[in-house]
Amino acid sequence: MILTPYQIIAPLIALVAIIYAWNLVMRHRKTLWEAALWTIFWGAIAYIAIEPNSIDYITIATGIHDRENAVLVTFLGILFFIVFYLVMRLESLEQRQTRLIRKMALKETGLEDQRE
């Protein structure tokens, strides 16, 4: 098997990305869940780069005969899931911020004791 430059560079970039993600976890800047997803994503990229024929199962699972189209549709689905997750997380953060600001405002005006 003769490796192309892409088959060498892509896994190296994936390895750097995975190490970076776990480094962020160790510094408490990312969660385990985020690092695990990052690892799965970049691991899949590295695996597909080394074994391009491995994506034939995606064509079978999706019923799309062209490999390129099957990969595109699959990754679009994954990206939509990620965007949905980010929107849900953003809404949660907005709700937490609203509760915190309300609590701070009530405390500042001295109405916090009356509300409870």
pLDDT at 78: 81
pTM for the model? 0.62
Structure tokens at 48: 């597909």
Residues 3-37 pLDDT 10s: 899 899 999 999 999 999 999 999 998 889 889 98
First to last CA, the chain: 71
Distance CA 107, CA 114 (A): 10
Cβ atoms within 10 A of the Cβ of 89, count? Answer: 10
Cβ(55)–Cβ(70) below 8 Å = yes
Beta-carbon contacts of residue 80 (< 8 Å; ≥ 6 apart): none
Give the domain ranges of the chain.
1-50, 68-116
